[in-house]
Chains A and B, each alone.
Chain A
Amino acid sequence: MSFKNENDQKAYWKENLSILFKLLAVWFVVSFGAGILFVEQLNNIHFFGFKLGFWFAQQGAIYVFVALIFIYMKLMNSLDKKYGVEEE
């Protein structure tokens, strides 16, 4: 057992899941939300020469995906430290 006690272990997993769900919500909103479900509404807005919905579908979603993974990495590394379960 690497955690100090069982409560710590539960709390760590709970915080992990909460980070996961928040980031996946963003993942869903930019791709399936902005790029597909609401693409027509967003296409009425113009953004640097693009229709916004089209931009999300062919550019924006991809940039957000990259950012999400790096944010996840940062958040998880500090979570590991907080509970003392990072690697040596």
Chain B
Amino acid sequence: MSVQVLTFLIVGASFLLYIGIAIWARAGSTTDFYVAGGGVPPVLNGMATAADWMSAASFISMAGLISFMGYDGAVYLMGWTGGYVLLALCLAPYLRKFGKFTVPDFIGDRYYSQTARTVAVICAIIVCFTYVIGQMRGVGVVFSRFLEVDITTGVIIGMGIVFFYTVLGGMKGITYTQVAQFCVLIFAYLVPAVFISIMVTGHILPMTGFGATLADGSGVHLLDKLDGLSTSLGFNEYTSGTKSMIDVFAITFALMVGTAGLPHVIVRFFTVPKVSDARKSAGWALAFIALLYTTAPALAAFARVNMIETINGTEQTGTLLTETPGWITTWKETGLISHEDKNGDGRMFYSGDERNEMSIDRDIMVLANPEIAGLPAWVIALVAAGGVAAALSTSAGLLLVISTSVSHDLLKKTFAPNISDKKELLSARIAAGVAICIAGYFGVHPPGYVAAVVAFAFGLAASSFFPVIIMGIFSKRMNNHGAVSGMISGMIFTMTYIIYFKFVAPELNTSENWLFGISPEGIGTIGMLVNFIVAFVVFKMTKESPQEIQDLVESIRFPKGAGEASAH
């Protein structure tokens, strides 16, 4: 069977599975729709959280990025996992005990302020929208490459599936579909990685193959070979980076804190029955995420060696154009690889200096990897299904936060407090539908700055949500004025910095012009500090929080008496 037929079959089967689960797990009440009735077992919630978190970017782009960045890729690896430690130790159990539906709920109640709630809702909506646009685009790319439909059709199919199970099932439908999607995506990621690891190093586990000697009998370690290749081709040594230490530090920190502050991740911990389950489920979530995140850097290194060797040949003289490998021809059609025979020798050559004749898009590494390594067609089809699963699961989680923010935080808590449960549920469904259409529109007509806005999502979460939630739990006396002014100043500082360097003066976006040498990707770290400092100063000048709020904070600090998450 051809790759295309197999891809149709495997992706189609996965869609049927998701739809079946959605019908089985329909939501009957707002509690079902917002927090899956609060009855999700912790291990399953861990899987759902992992799928929710691992997006098209983690699945499709991350290994490719690392493959081109070498050591510097560690900012993503540590940044996007270390945040879970903060989440598990400092946020999740307390927010679960608090027992409400959303992050703005916590901020609004803890700081007894409608302004705080509104600022939080706006942040949540901006963060989720910037994120979801990239996901829809990811679905489109996978479809257009593997099913040979155009991107628009791909996005519309993806929208249809997400619409079906988000609108019908709410959090309950999403949770159980995400469990299935996790299984699909992790299987699809590990299978080619294991194959390639065996081929390159003879190790079954990519994590140990990463440091092993090559299987070609030369006795050379993979990483030493890669360092040697990289320097001889005019790149930096693979195991050392090009970014400055302070920038690596700041980016890693901003990604960690941003991860811990992302509303679609936090809300997953409202779905488990008990506080102790929230702790446990964070552990499982990270364990499941770590499976992919420890494989990714290994895959990146294997892919790098394979790619250099297929393009430059084992003798490093370049491969004859007449012998161009099939995967290069296929990907050339998508425009993601191109070659220009600059020295006219009829050969391809890839390097980091003037000899280079190739331009290669980083995003194709994971998708092209099975082809580069010459794996069977069903593996290629599986990778396509995995990429779609990763994009769909994350989109659904984000869209749910958007719809909850509109129906619960804005409508129920702000504009129409007397709305019935039934009407609130209907409005949540309508909001989810509208959000999917907007996301789909941007997926088809992506704004040119999709990559740049990712810095936005993390910067905003790091500089707005994280500090106020931390202060809300660990300081009983922190008051509404402190929190609101901290949140607003942290956010404005971070947004201004990113907008200036990414949109107003992109030509100045170099390390000499950066504040303390910190790039816009890492500025959320400073934004967070600004938030803490402003909040503290304003707090010192105003009255501390009232007694009933201090009692509330006292009560979320121990597990006993945690009920189901509720609206009241």
Query: A-side interface residues toward B, CB under 8 Å?
Result: 2-3, 9, 12-13, 16, 20, 23-24, 27, 31-32, 35-37, 39-40, 43, 47-51, 54-55, 57-59, 61-63, 65-66, 68-70, 72-73, 76-77, 80, 83-87
Are B279 and A69 in touch, CB under 8 angstroms? yes
Q: Is B509's CB within 8 Å of the partner chain A? A: no
Q: How far is the CA of A72 from the CA of B240 in the complex (A)?
A: 33
* Chain A, residue nearest B249 (CB): A36
Are B283 and A70 in touch, CB under 8 angstroms? yes
Q: Is B339's CB within 8 Å of the partner chain A? A: no
Are A65 and B276 in touch, CB under 8 angstroms? no
Are B297 and A72 in touch, CB under 8 angstroms? no
Q: Is B207's CB within 8 Å of the partner chain A? A: yes
Q: How far is the CA of A48 from the CA of B280 in the complex (A)?
A: 31
Are A62 and B275 in touch, CB under 8 angstroms? no
Interface residues of B in 229-261 (CB under 8 A from A): 239-240, 245, 248-249, 252-253
> Besides A49-B221, A57-B77, 18 other CB < 8 A contacts?
A3-B558, A12-B558, A27-B85, A31-B78, A39-B71, A40-B240, A49-B213, A50-B210, A57-B71, A58-B71, A58-B297, A59-B207, A61-B81, A66-B283, A72-B279, A73-B88, A84-B560, A87-B561
Known pairs A32-B252, A49-B212, A59-B207; A54 contacts B239 (CB<8 A):
yes
Known pairs A32-B249, A54-B239, A87-B276; A76 contacts B93 (CB<8 A):
yes
Are B222 and A49 in touch, CB under 8 angstroms? yes
Are B223 and A62 in touch, CB under 8 angstroms? no
Are A73 and B283 in touch, CB under 8 angstroms? yes
Residue among A27, A36, A70, A76 with most chain B CB within 10 A: A36
Q: Is B294's CB within 8 Å of the partner chain A? A: yes
Q: Is B171's CB within 8 Å of the partner chain A? A: no
Q: Is B190's CB within 8 Å of the partner chain A? A: no
Known pairs A32-B249, A57-B74; A66 contacts B290 (CB<8 A):
yes
Q: How far is the CA of A85 from the CA of B283 in the complex (A)?
A: 21
Question: What are the 8 tightest A-B residue pairs by CB atom distance, in nearest-first order?
Answer: A49-B211, A57-B74, A69-B283, A58-B297, A85-B558, A85-B560, A50-B211, A2-B560
Q: How far is the CA of A73 from the CA of B281 in the complex (A)?
A: 10
Interface residues of B in 54-100 (CB under 8 A from A): 66, 71, 73-74, 77-78, 81-82, 84-86, 88-90, 93
* Chain B residues, Cβ within 8 Å of A24: 85, 89
Query: Total interface residues on B, using CB and 8 Å?
Result: 51
* Chain B residues, Cβ within 8 Å of A35: 74, 78, 252
* Chain B residues, Cβ within 8 Å of A3: 558
* Chain B residues, Cβ within 8 Å of A37: 245, 249
Known pairs A27-B85, A51-B239, A69-B283; A80 contacts B558 (CB<8 A):
yes
Q: How far is the CB of B524 from chain A (nearest CB, A)?
A: 16
Q: How far is the CA of A5 from the CA of B567 in the complex (A)?
A: 30
Q: How far is the CA of A43 from the CA of B222 in the complex (A)?
A: 16
Q: How far is the CA of A62 from the CA of B86 in the complex (A)?
A: 13
Q: Is B286's CB within 8 Å of the partner chain A? A: yes
Known pairs A57-B71, A59-B294, A61-B78; A36 contacts B245 (CB<8 A):
yes
Q: How far is the CB of B312 from chain A (nearest CB, A)?
A: 24
Which one of A36, A49, A51 lies within 8 Å of B252 (CB-CB)? A36
* Chain A, residue nearest B561 (CB): A2
Q: Is B559's CB within 8 Å of the partner chain A? A: yes
Which one of A32, A54, A86 lies within 8 Å of B71 (CB-CB)? A54
Are A16 and B557 in touch, CB under 8 angstroms? yes
Which one of B239, B252, B290, B297 lies within 8 Å of A63 (CB-CB)? B290
Q: How far is the CA of A87 from the CA of B278 in the complex (A)?
A: 12
* Chain A, residue nearest B280 (CB): A73
Q: How far is the CB of B297 from chain A (nearest CB, A)?
A: 4
* Chain A residues, Cβ within 8 Å of B223: 49-51, 54
Q: How far is the CB of A82 from chain B (nearest CB, A)?
A: 12
Q: Is B293's CB within 8 Å of the partner chain A? A: yes
Q: Is B469's CB within 8 Å of the partner chain A? A: no
Q: Is B282's CB within 8 Å of the partner chain A? A: yes
Known pairs A13-B557, A43-B240, A76-B279; A62 contacts B294 (CB<8 A):
yes
Known pairs A51-B239, A59-B294, A63-B290; A69 contacts B560 (CB<8 A):
no
Q: How far is the CA of A2 from the CA of B561 in the complex (A)?
A: 8
Interface residues of B in 543-568 (CB under 8 A from A): 554, 557-562
Q: Is B529's CB within 8 Å of the partner chain A? A: no
* Chain B residues, Cβ within 8 Å of A40: 240
Indicate with 1 or 0, residue by residue over B419-439, a CB within 8 angstroms of chain A CB atoms.
Answer: 000000000000000000000
Known pairs A20-B90, A70-B283; A65 contacts B82 (CB<8 A):
yes
Q: Is B208's CB within 8 Å of the partner chain A? A: yes
* Chain B residues, Cβ within 8 Å of A36: 74, 245, 248-249, 252
Q: How far is the CA of A16 from the CA of B71 in the complex (A)?
A: 36
* Chain A, residue nearest B248 (CB): A36
* Chain B, residue nearest A57 (CB): B74
* Chain B residues, Cβ within 8 Å of A76: 93, 276, 279
Q: List, sorted by A's number, 18 A–B pairs whose CB atoms are closer than 8 Å.
A: A16-B557, A35-B252, A40-B240, A43-B240, A48-B211, A49-B213, A50-B223, A54-B71, A58-B71, A58-B77, A59-B294, A59-B297, A63-B290, A66-B283, A72-B88, A73-B283, A77-B276, A83-B558
Q: How far is the CB of B292 from chain A (nearest CB, A)?
A: 10
Which one of B290, B558, B560 lies within 8 Å of A65 (CB-CB)? B290
* Chain B residues, Cβ within 8 Å of A80: 276, 558-560
Q: How far is the CB of B473 from chain A (nearest CB, A)?
A: 11
Are B210 and A59 in touch, CB under 8 angstroms? yes
Q: How far is the CA of A84 from the CA of B558 in the complex (A)?
A: 10
Q: Is B347's CB within 8 Å of the partner chain A? A: no
Q: How far is the CA of A80 from the CA of B562 in the complex (A)?
A: 13
* Chain B residues, Cβ within 8 Å of A47: 211
